Chains A and B, each alone.
Chain A
Amino acid sequence: MIRIDSVTKRYPDGTVAVDRLSLEIPDRAITVLVGPSGCGKTTTLRMINRMVEPSEGSILLDGTDIRQQPVNTLRRSMGYVIQNAGLFQHRTILDNIATVPRLLGTPKKEARARAAELMERVGLDSALAKRYPYQLSGGQQQRVGVARALAADPPVLLMDEPFSAVDPVVRKGLQDELLRIQDELGKTIVFVTHDIDEAIKLGTMVAVLRTGGRLAQFAPPADLLSAPADAFVEDFLGADRGIRRLSFFPSADLELQTAPIVGVDADADKLAARADAPYLLVTDLDGRPLGWGEPDRLTAGSVEREHLLDFGRPFVPGDDSLRTALDGAVLSPTGWAVAVDGDGRAVGVVSQQVIGEAIRAAHRRVARNTEVNAAR
């Protein structure tokens, strides 16, 4: 565990970048430092690998002060990823990735073999191995940056706004990739960003810093959204934190209805039996949704697909959150969200009212838990 113990950083010009900060960074989880520009995120991160020395306080790694070991030994045990990757432009992709293993004395051949392995892990085509950084896109360079940081298999990964210089689509890809890699490798990651959505998506724990380098709140993202510590945190979270909070509520418990689902080959009797529903969800012969239709306008035996209304974005109960379910219901012209299984077959439909009920129930559950925890 990394323990930041009452650390202050005063730069020679008098700027106090970090002010009596204490944090316990859990092992094998992603801890995100988030806050407005200039609030001391980079300074905090760089104190962990001693690129910046604290003016006061200490940082402990597994109980020992990080100043106990030689600075370069410490740094080689911590991967570091930065904005714009900071690749060595004069080295090939493979040699970039092999940098730290080479420093640690791994023979060239072995280091390169390991680098090739890592390229695959971070989703880079092996054809890029012999290229130079200028021949890669920004997103690819960032992946190389991640691979380079992972090359010596360090237990700790420090990441300073690694994904902020790429476009939103590439950024989402990189974030998903990081979560996947983290699932496989279980590193202790300290991740700096000024993007609260990124913090909430990636963080197991999120530390919100305010200008002047003081800690505003340190909590799991769901708690941050449900109980911001003060007006600053609430403001920083943005206007729609209620909606975003739904991301942390599972959709598994939603009560699904199957009655309004009919196959495209449904006969007259079947259609008549369901005539009281305002809309029916028509599926193809495999059970995949095709669209919504009003019961009296459907033709028995074969439905004209062009008359069906779009069914919006379906959600997968269990995998997706209430936020996705609600989004599906809001987007659907009928106000009903479609639930599908992993193969895309319709397993039920659910109305906005039912989702609303589920949201209220989830809130009640959280409130009860908070009370129980408070009582303990």
Chain B
Amino acid sequence: MNGFFDLPSDLQHSYLGLVGLHLREALIPVLAGLIVSLPVAQLCVRFRWIYPPVLGITTVLYAIPSLAFFVVLIDYFGQSETTVMIPLALYSLVVLVPAIVDGVRSVPPETLAAAEAMGLGAVRRYFQVQLPIAVPAIIAGLRVATVSSISLVSVGMLIGNQGALGNMLYDAQTYHRPALAVNSVLTIAVLGILADAVLVLVRILLTPWMPRKGATR
């Protein structure tokens, strides 16, 4: 009899190994998405007219099925983690870009005017005023992007063993072990909830300046 956490050898990982792999495949794309989104969003704030087309592009990217990406990417990266992570990174843009744009735009105009009047140049204004004030909005976007990325990693099983915890679903069918499927789904859910909680904590630590709920003045 196999224990709940004993995995078939074709998964090539222990349970914890799969958890680590899953997190890596889910989080690196979000991080990459963030790094791309920051300058893109800043361009959208600076030049208003490029925001609608940029939004359109991110939406179209999000609408492309991952399988279609895999077909193209396998030619370049083979059946690798990279092939799984590239579409995930592109998907994250659809939440991150608007989140950052909204965050940066939420800076009150008089705050920006004051910053300009005090002699903060455009670069300082961005890093010392706009970005810090956008942190709550950015983290709100990161929470959605992270949780969806964690659940999306499973599709990697379509290209053979690159779906981390998702691969257990495939094995559950192959070996008639439904417990593997239950385990996979539960673990992915728990990872999502934990990642979300960590981001909330980061937000609280980074923004001591936010009015706390219930506390006025």
Residue ranges of A at the interface with B (Cβ–Cβ < 8 Å): 49, 51, 71-76, 78, 80, 82-92, 99-100, 103, 132-137, 145, 148, 158
Are B114 and A82 in contact, CB atoms less than 8 angstroms apart? yes
27 contacts between A and B (CB under 8 A): A71-B119, A73-B119, A74-B119, A75-B118, A75-B119, A76-B118, A80-B114, A80-B118, A82-B117, A84-B110, A85-B110, A86-B108, A86-B110, A86-B111, A86-B113, A87-B114, A90-B209, A91-B209, A92-B209, A100-B118, A100-B119, A103-B120, A134-B209, A134-B211, A134-B217, A145-B114, A158-B117
Question: Contacts A82-B117, A148-B118, A158-B117 given; 19 further ones with Cβ under 8 A?
Answer: A49-B117, A72-B120, A72-B121, A80-B114, A82-B114, A84-B110, A85-B110, A86-B108, A86-B114, A88-B115, A90-B129, A90-B132, A90-B209, A92-B209, A103-B119, A103-B124, A132-B209, A134-B209, A134-B210
How far does the alpha carbon of A87 sit from the alpha carbon of B112 in the complex, in Å?
9
How far does the alpha carbon of A137 sit from the alpha carbon of B216 in the complex, in Å?
11
The total of chain B residues at the interface (CB under 8 A) is 23
- Chain B residues positioned under 8 Å from A100 (CB to CB): 118-119
**Distance between B204 CB and nearest chain A CB, rounded to angstroms:** 14
A90 touching B207 in the complex, CB below 8 Å, given contacts A83-B110, A137-B217: yes
Q: Mark B166-186, 1 if CB is under 8 A from A, else 0.
A: 000000000000000000000
**Distance between A88 CB and nearest chain B CB, rounded to angstroms:** 6
How far does the alpha carbon of A80 sit from the alpha carbon of B113 in the complex, in Å?
10
- Chain B residues positioned under 8 Å from A84 (CB to CB): 108, 110
Are A82 and B133 in contact, CB atoms less than 8 angstroms apart? no
Are B117 and A132 in contact, CB atoms less than 8 angstroms apart? no
Of residues 158 through 217 on chain B, the ones whose CB sits less than 8 Å from some CB of chain A are 207-211, 217
How far does the alpha carbon of A78 sit from the alpha carbon of B207 in the complex, in Å?
30
Q: Which of A85, A92, A103, A132 contacts B118 (CB 8 A)?
A: A103
Of residues 92 through 121 on chain B, the ones whose CB sits less than 8 Å from some CB of chain A are 108, 110-111, 113-121
How far does the alpha carbon of A86 sit from the alpha carbon of B117 in the complex, in Å?
11
- Chain B residues positioned under 8 Å from A148 (CB to CB): 118
How far does the alpha carbon of A309 sit from the alpha carbon of B208 in the complex, in Å?
58
How far does the alpha carbon of A51 sit from the alpha carbon of B120 in the complex, in Å?
12
- Chain B residues positioned under 8 Å from A145 (CB to CB): 114
B210 and chain A: residue at smallest CB distance:
A134
Of residues 74 through 103 on chain B, the ones whose CB sits less than 8 Å from some CB of chain A are none
Are B119 and A76 in contact, CB atoms less than 8 angstroms apart? yes
Interface of A is mostly: mixed
Are B120 and A87 in contact, CB atoms less than 8 angstroms apart? no
- Chain B residues positioned under 8 Å from A83 (CB to CB): 110
How far does the alpha carbon of A136 sit from the alpha carbon of B209 in the complex, in Å?
12
How far does the alpha carbon of A135 sit from the alpha carbon of B113 in the complex, in Å?
22
Residue among B113, B114, B115 with the most chain A CB within 10 A?
B114
How far does the alpha carbon of A145 sit from the alpha carbon of B117 in the complex, in Å?
12
- Chain A residues positioned under 8 Å from B121 (CB to CB): 72
Residue among A76, A89, A103 with the most chain B CB within 10 A?
A89
How far does the alpha carbon of A186 sit from the alpha carbon of B180 in the complex, in Å?
79
B108 and chain A: residue at smallest CB distance:
A86
How far does the alpha carbon of A78 sit from the alpha carbon of B110 in the complex, in Å?
17
**Distance between B133 CB and nearest chain A CB, rounded to angstroms:** 6
- Chain B residues positioned under 8 Å from A51 (CB to CB): 113, 116-117
- Chain A residues positioned under 8 Å from B120 (CB to CB): 72, 99, 103
Report the 4 A-B pairs with minimum CB-CB distance, sorted nearest first: A86-B114, A80-B117, A75-B119, A86-B110
B107 and chain A: residue at smallest CB distance:
A89
**Distance between A72 CB and nearest chain B CB, rounded to angstroms:** 4
How far does the alpha carbon of A234 sit from the alpha carbon of B135 in the complex, in Å?
51
**Distance between B139 CB and nearest chain A CB, rounded to angstroms:** 14
- Chain A residues positioned under 8 Å from B108 (CB to CB): 84, 86, 89
- Chain A residues positioned under 8 Å from B209 (CB to CB): 89-92, 132-134
**Distance between B142 CB and nearest chain A CB, rounded to angstroms:** 18
- Chain A residues positioned under 8 Å from B133 (CB to CB): 88-90
Q: Which of A49, A73, A80, A89 contacts B111 (CB 8 A)?
A: A89
How far does the alpha carbon of A49 sit from the alpha carbon of B118 in the complex, in Å?
9
**Distance between B138 CB and nearest chain A CB, rounded to angstroms:** 13
Q: Mark B124-160, 1 if CB is under 8 A from A, else 0.
A: 1000010011010000000000000000000000000
**Distance between A187 CB and nearest chain B CB, rounded to angstroms:** 16
A84 and chain B: residue at smallest CB distance:
B110
- Chain A residues positioned under 8 Å from B217 (CB to CB): 134-137
How far does the alpha carbon of A85 sit from the alpha carbon of B118 in the complex, in Å?
13
A96 and chain B: residue at smallest CB distance:
B114
